[in-house]
């Protein structure tokens, strides 16, 4: 792209090699390079501000820059996702940052105060991340090629990786609260426990017969709970390496779940287009609510009062958990929502979807 910026004697040009160049001369035939800088990514387009003092340049990797035409000084303007988004997660007990997994191969750490990207971690291959979890110090993500990656939160340095953690892809991942191990779920139904220090697999739990869609760890790090496309909700004793309980939906696979702080109440939803309340001490569902969509994701507020859901209906809905009724809903996504999460302080919900959109919703009560 090329634009005149000063009476036909100066031009700004951006190119696919990431350069921004100022050309100047008394006539078009006498144009010479005056100054050049290199930006991050291949430049796709630009626009000139009224008065010609600034340019807005946009790259193919979703970055946009404000550039002063006088001296080509650069200020990052914004970043957007360039692919479908598959997961969003907050680091443990941190509400002012969140992470996303994108089809462009990046795990991005966002600042919730100004919505800037603080860190971008690449899977380094043609694969893309499907699921992410983080502590104050590390980020762990699982990819569709079956690989687990770990990065440092501060510099984005790749600390370690585990190839072939799951055949067919890593579909769920959680960090223990003591950050000593990772639990991962796979496309073929396995739950695996990995010791972070040695990267050894210390446990392999195989009872699901299809893709693990979601998993949670209990606060004591001994017990886990998982849901799968095979319609099953299973609880596990990780120390004893055995299944404790099993619950099953009648017809469709389970896409997501939320676990209450009492550690016995679980809410699930999925292909059956129902939202089901379970008591893990009882065999049958406690309650079932008919839905008008297939819910892909849900998140429970830390006080167990509100439940956020979203899916094929493209709406983010906030439910009163006890009443089982929608309290409010927000429209904005143009394709299915893949994942959402309450902030640990319950003040915001972040949702991501196949429309490449990251949406932040205020949820003050």
The answer to whether the beta carbons of residues 99 and 134 sit under 8 Å apart is yes
* CA nearest neighbour of 21 among 1, 40, 6: 1
Cα gap 275→269, rounded to integer Å = 5
pLDDT at residue 64, as a whole number: 85
- Rounded CA-CA distance 223/219 in Å is 8
The DSSP bridge partners found for residue 108 are 100, 120
- Write out pLDDT tens, residues 315-364: 999 999 999 999 999 999 999 999 999 999 999 999 999 999 999 999 87
State pLDDT tens for residues 154-164.
999 999 999 99
Which tokens hold the place of 347?
């003040």
Q: Which residue has the tokens 């996303």?
A: 100
Q: Are 242 and 234 in contact (CB under 8 A)?
A: no
| Cα 290 from Cα 273, distance rounded (Å) | 6
Strand order through the sheet with 315-320: 295-300, 306-311, 315-320, 325-331
Burial class (CB in 10 A: 0-12, 13-18, 19+), 17: exposed
End-to-end CA distance of the chain: 48
97, 53 contact by CB (below 8 A): no
Domains and CATH numbers, the chain: 2-79 (2.40.10.480), 85-362 (2.130.10.10)
pLDDT at site 190: 97
Question: Residue 8's pLDDT is what?
Answer: 64
Within 10 angstroms of residue 187's Cβ, the number of other Cβ atoms is 18
Structure tokens at 183: 């639990």
Nearest Cα residue to 299 out of 231, 186, 216: 216
Distance CA 56, CA 67 (A): 6
Report the alpha-carbon distance of residue 277 to residue 115 in Å, rounded.
35
CA angle 213, 61, 354 (to 5 degrees): 30
CA 197 to chain centre: 25
Token output for 215: 């998993």
CB 315 within 8 A of CB 292: no
Instruction: Specify the pLDDT at position 53.
Output: 82
**C-beta atoms surrounding 142 within 10 Å:** 29
DSSP state letter for 271: T
pLDDT for res 36: 85
Q: If you write DSSP's letter for every residue of 123-188 in order, what string do you get?
A: -SSS--EEEEEE-SSEEEEEETTS-EEEEETTT--EEEEETTSSTT-EEEEEE-TTSSEEEEEETT
For residue 6, what are the β-bridge partners?
A: 10
Answer yes or no: are the C-beta atoms of 231 and 221 closer than 8 Å: no
Of 229, 306, 200, give the one whose Cα is nearest residue 260: 306
Phi, psi of 28, deg, nearest 5: -55, -30
- Element at 15 (helix H, strand E): none
Q: Going residue by residue through the chain (365 aa), what tens digit of pLDDT does each one get? A: 777 777 667 788 888 888 888 888 877 777 788 788 888 878 888 888 887 788 888 888 788 888 888 888 888 777 788 899 999 999 999 999 999 999 999 999 999 998 888 999 999 878 999 999 999 999 999 999 999 999 999 999 999 999 999 999 999 999 999 999 999 999 999 999 999 999 999 999 999 999 999 999 999 999 999 999 999 999 999 999 999 999 999 989 999 999 999 999 999 999 999 999 999 999 999 999 999 999 999 999 999 999 999 999 999 999 999 999 999 999 999 999 999 999 999 999 999 999 999 999 998 76
pLDDT at 63: 82
């Amino acid at each position: 792209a090329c634009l005149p910026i000063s009476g036909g004697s100066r031009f700004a040009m951006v190119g696919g090699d990431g350069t921004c160049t100022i050309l100047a001369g008394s006539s078009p035939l006498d144009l010479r390079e005056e100054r050049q800088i290199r930006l991050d990514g291949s430049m796709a387009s630009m626009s000139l501000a009224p008065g010609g003092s600034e340019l807005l340049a946009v790259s193919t990797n979703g970055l946009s820059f404000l550039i002063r035409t006088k001296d080509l000084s650069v200020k990052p303007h914004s970043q957007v996702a360039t692919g479908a988004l598959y997961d969003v997660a907050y680091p443990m007990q941190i509400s002012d940052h969140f992470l996303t997994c994108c089809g462009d191969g990046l795990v991005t750490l966002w600042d919730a105060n100004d919505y800037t990207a603080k860190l971008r971690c690449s899977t380094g291959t043609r694969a893309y991340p499907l699921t992410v979890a983080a502590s104050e110090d590390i980020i762990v993500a699982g990819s569709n090629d079956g690989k687990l990656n770990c990065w440092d939160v501060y510099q984005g340095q790749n600390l370690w990786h585990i190839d072939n953690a799951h055949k067919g892809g890593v579909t769920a991942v959680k960090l223990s609260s003591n950050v000593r191990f990772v639990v991962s779920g796979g496309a073929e139904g396995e739950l695996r426990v990995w010791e972070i220090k040695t990267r050894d697999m210390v446990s392999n739990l195989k009872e699901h017969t299809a893709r693990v869609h979601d998993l949670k760890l209990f606060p004591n790090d001994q017990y886990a709970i998982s849901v799968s496309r095979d319609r099953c909700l299973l609880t596990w004793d990780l120390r004893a390496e055995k299944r404790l309980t099993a619950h099953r939906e009648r017809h469709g696979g389970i896409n997501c779940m939320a676990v209450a702080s009492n550690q016995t109440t679980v809410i699930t939803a999925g292909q059956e287009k129902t939202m089901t309340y379970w008591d893990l001490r009882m065999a049958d569902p406690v309650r079932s609510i008919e839905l008008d969509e297939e819910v892909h994701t849900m998140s429970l507020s830390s006080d167990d009062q509100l439940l956020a859901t979203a899916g094929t209906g493209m709406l983010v809905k906030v439910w009163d958990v006890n009443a089982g009724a929608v309290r409010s809903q927000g429209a904005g996504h143009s394709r299915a929502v893949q994942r959402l999460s309450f902030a640990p302080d319950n003040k915001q919900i972040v949702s991501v979807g196949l429309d490449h959109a990251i949406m932040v919703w205020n949820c003050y009560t």
